[in-house]
């Protein structure tokens, strides 16, 4: 079963720990955080559970059609939006419980002072391509 | 048939059939399973690469020779790394052993109960099915590196298990049914491979449940083309175009099932196949023998006591004895089950409570675990709302 672990720059429940924003960490603390994430991904590769991981720029825009013959309308960048996605990891695991366990581990990545940041991560199951029942 | 691209021109199905036997030969020459399996996989990839230009006269002999050389190379490298003597003789010992036992043992080993289902599926597809790691990764939509690790972990997990004991047939059947039912990407017809593996297993064993599983697969496969409409939309059984059902597959499935049932050792796959056969046997949805289907669900329930069976039985009761009876049966089923809400929606619609049905269909769409189901239930909600005129 595949799950998306979604990391947000902003949005989600109230943070459990008001951690210092990343740009105010020391370079070593940033390195330690990145190392934790990449070790986590390598470990999942070894367990055969890793599918994909991607970070997103906080720049970008909303886009919509404005009718035939007219250029699409854009809105953004999202300086004001309440919810901003930072990136994701896709895992392929045996159960929801395992997905939650892994997201919990990922959320414990170290921040300022080497303390776990306990950030909220969103875990969403993939819809499969085939119906579950036989008919 | 299946498999295109780089390997065009190679009879991949012949290659795949040879893989478990070749692993068996290496095993009898003293290779451990993990190394033998790796060596055969390498030989297989080499075959896919070179056979189109240079087909061997004796495909099995070619595979054995190449795999054995790969195994010896790897074993020599390993023993020189560890500074000790090679544990097997470089010259293959003579004396054939029955290859069927080897293949049967592989089924049990690759689906061993200690393995998580996804690992058992991957290992079965590679060692018994003769697929390449890349094909298995593509089928499961995961990176090849992940699949390599999943398979080697599975092999480590079973490395020290005794091989002389009879395995657990129930897990073998469950793994084959998973292979058959999962959705797959890539260009390999994995459901077709599952049928091939079930056929091969049925030829190796005399267990009625193996025949039951094979019959079940054939009966579902017979309806596969009619189960999806334009754009991949799901077509429910009652609306399927029965003229598109594969009558040859149905006849074969029914014959296999009847022979199995005559042995009088009923099991869950035979009971499920019996239900599938009753559907296949009905000239139209209206002529379905729901009373007999409910009886088979009762048998199935007695064997498995599964909540999913209870749910499907409630829907069948709704057809046999009317929607109110179906709803009463459904009331006794765990409401947390996937498809419980969808079943309730259907039964309420049949009972004439359209408003309730429309709400339940919409809720069921939100709870669906697959895209085709979600889209189907969304359409059902829209259809019933239209009937309501709201």
Tell me: pLDDT of B166 over 70. Answer: no
Range list of β-strands (E), B59-119? none
The CA distance from A101 to the nearest CA of chain B, in Å, is 17
> pLDDT grade, residue B87 (50/70/90)?
low
B140 touches chain A (CB under 8 A): yes
Give pLDDT, residue B348: 98
* B357: its two tokens: 């049905």
- Contact check, Cβ <8 Å, B118/A50: no
The CA distance from A134 to the nearest CA of chain B, in Å, is 8
> pLDDT grade, residue B93 (50/70/90)?
low
pLDDT digits (tens, 9 = 90+) for B281-298: 999 999 999 999 999 999
State how far the Cα of B37 lies from the Cα of B26, in Å rounded to an integer. 9
CB B203 within 8 A of CB B261: no
How far from the centroid of its chain's Cα atoms is residue B371's Cα?
A: 20
- Contact check, Cβ <8 Å, B369/A51: no
Give pLDDT, residue A135: 52
pLDDT digits (tens, 9 = 90+) for B262-278: 999 999 999 999 999 99
The torsion angles phi and psi of B338, rounded to 5 degrees, stand at -60, 145
| DSSP-assigned states of every residue in B193-232 | HHHHHHHHHHHH---HHHHHHHHHHHHHHTTHHHHB-GGG
Give pLDDT, residue B4: 42
A46 touches chain B (CB under 8 A): yes
Give the residue from chain A lying closest to B178, CA to CA.
Answer: A132
State how far the Cα of B189 lies from the Cα of B205, in Å rounded to an integer. 25
pLDDT digits (tens, 9 = 90+) for B179-220: 999 867 788 999 999 999 999 999 999 999 999 999 999 999
Whole-number average pLDDT of chain B:
91
B30, B105, B169 from B98: Cα distances, Å:
16, 11, 20
State how far the Cα of B168 lies from the Cα of B175, in Å rounded to an integer. 11
* B275: its two tokens: 């239900």
Give pLDDT, residue B10: 77
State how far the Cα of B311 lies from the Cα of B329, in Å rounded to an integer. 8
Q: Which domains does chain A have, with CATH numbers?
A: 2-125 (3.30.70.1060)
Tell me: pLDDT of B155 over 90. Answer: yes
The CA distance from A92 to the nearest CA of chain B, in Å, is 8
CB B330 within 8 A of CB B347: yes
State how far the Cα of B119 lies from the Cα of B207, in Å rounded to an integer. 25
* B153: its two tokens: 């972990």
Give pLDDT, residue A84: 85
Over residues B356-362, mean pLDDT: 97
CB A6 within 8 A of CB A124: yes
Tell me: pLDDT of B132 over 90. Answer: yes
- Cβ neighbours of B350 (radius 10 Å): 17
What residue spans of chain A are helical by DSSP H?
Answer: 27-46, 96-107
Over residues B37-55, mean pLDDT: 95
Over residues B113-136, mean pLDDT: 96
With 0-12 / 13-18 / 19 or more C-beta atoms within 10 angstroms meaning exposed / middle / buried, residue A55 is: exposed
Tell me: pLDDT of B2 over 50. Answer: no
A128 touches chain B (CB under 8 A): yes
Query: Residue A87: enclosing H or E segment and its boundaries?
Result: strand A84-92
CB B161 within 8 A of CB B109: yes
CA R_g for chain B: 24
A130 touches chain B (CB under 8 A): yes
Provide, rounded to the nearest whole percent, the portion of chain B with pLDDT above 70. Answer: 92
From chain A, the residues in CB contact with B223 under 8 A are: 135
Give the residue from chain A lying closest to B143, CA to CA.
Answer: A51
Output B1 or B53, whichever has higher pLDDT. B53
Give pLDDT, residue B259: 98
From chain A, the residues in CB contact with B117 under 8 A are: 94
User: Which of B177, B29, B23, B163 has its CA nearest to residue B95?
Assistant: B29
- Contact check, Cβ <8 Å, B140/A50: no
Q: What single-letter DSSP state applies at residue A113? A: G
- Bridge partners, A124 (sequence order): A4
State how far the Cα of B195 lies from the Cα of B201, in Å rounded to an integer. 10
CB B187 within 8 A of CB B138: yes
Give pLDDT, residue B81: 80
- Bridge partners, A128 (sequence order): B370
Reported ipTM: 0.85
A56, B275, B345, B384 from B378: Cα distances, Å:
32, 28, 12, 10
State how far the Cα of B343 lies from the Cα of B331, in Å rounded to an integer. 11
State how far the Cα of B217 lies from the Cα of B143, in Å rounded to an integer. 29
Mean pLDDT by 10 residues, chain A (135 residues): 92 82 89 94 95 90 94 82 88 97 96 91 92 59
* B208: its two tokens: 């009625």
Q: Whole-angstrom distance between the N-terminal and C-terminal Cα of chain B?
A: 50
- Cβ neighbours of B86 (radius 10 Å): 13
- Contact check, Cβ <8 Å, A129/B118: no
Give the residue from chain B lying closest to A130, CA to CA.
Answer: B183
């Amino acid at each position: 079963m595949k799950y998306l672990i979604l990391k947000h720059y902003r949005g989600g429940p109230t943070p459990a720990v008001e951690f210092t924003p990343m740009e105010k960490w020391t370079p070593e603390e940033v390195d330690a955080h990145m190392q934790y994430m990449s070790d986590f991904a390598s470990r999942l590769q070894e367990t055969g559970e890793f599918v994909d991981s991607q970070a997103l720029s906080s720049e970008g825009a909303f886009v919509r059609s404005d009718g035939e013959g007219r250029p699409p309308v854009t809105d953004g960048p999202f300086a004001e939006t309440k919810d901003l996605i930072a990136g994701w990891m896709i895992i392929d695991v045996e159960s929801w419980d395992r997905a939650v366990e892994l997201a919990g581990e990922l959320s414990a990545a170290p921040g300022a002072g080497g303390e776990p940041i306990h950030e909220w991560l969103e875990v969403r199951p993939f819809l499969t391509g085939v119906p579950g029942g036989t008919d | 048939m299946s498999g295109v691209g780089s390997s065009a021109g190679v009879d991949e199905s012949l290659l795949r059939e040879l893989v478990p036997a070749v692993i068996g030969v290496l095993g009898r020459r003293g290779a451990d399973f993990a190394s033998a399996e790796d060596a055969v996989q390498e030989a297989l990839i080499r075959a896919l690469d070179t056979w189109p230009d240079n087909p061997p006269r004796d495909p099995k002999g070619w595979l054995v020779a190449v795999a054995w050389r790969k195994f010896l190379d790897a074993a020599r490298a390993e023993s020189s790394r560890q500074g000790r003597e090679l544990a097997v003789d470089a010259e293959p010992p003579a004396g054939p052993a029955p290859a069927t036992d080897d293949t049967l043992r592989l089924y049990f080993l690759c689906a061993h109960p200690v393995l998580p289902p996804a690992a058992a599926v991957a290992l079965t597809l590679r060692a018994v099915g003769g697929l390449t790691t890349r094909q298995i990764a593509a089928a499961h939509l995961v990176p090849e590196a992940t699949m390599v690790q999943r398979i080697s972990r599975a092999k480590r997990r079973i490395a020290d298990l005794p091989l002389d004991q009879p395995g657990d047939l129930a897990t073998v059947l469950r793994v084959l049914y998973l292979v058959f039912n999962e959705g797959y990407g890539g260009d390999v017809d994995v459901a077709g491979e599952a049928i091939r593996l079930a056929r091969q297993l049925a030829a190796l064993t005399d267990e009625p449940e193996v025949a039951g599983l094979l019959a079940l697969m054939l009966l579902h496969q017979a309806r596969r083309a009619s189960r999806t409409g334009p754009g991949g939309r799901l077509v429910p059984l009652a609306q399927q175009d029965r003229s598109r059902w594969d009558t040859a597959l149905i006849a074969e499935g029914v014959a296999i099932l009847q022979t199995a049932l005559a042995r009088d050792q009923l099991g869950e796959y035979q009971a499920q196949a019996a239900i599938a056969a009753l559907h296949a046997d009905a000239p139209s949805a209206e002529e379905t023998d729901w009373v007999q289907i409910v009886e088979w669900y009762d048998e199935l329930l007695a064997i498995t006591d599964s909540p999913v069976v209870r749910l499907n039985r409630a829907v069948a009761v709704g057809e046999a004895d009317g929607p109110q009876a179906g709803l009463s049966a459904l009331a006794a089923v765990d409401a947390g089950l996937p498809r419980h809400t969808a079943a309730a929606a259907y039964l309420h619609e049949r009972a004439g409570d359209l408003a309730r049905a429309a709400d339940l269909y919409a809720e069921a769409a939100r709870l669906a675990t697959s895209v085709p189901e979600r889209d189907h239930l969304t359409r059902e909600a829209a259809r019933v709302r239209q009937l309501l005129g709201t």
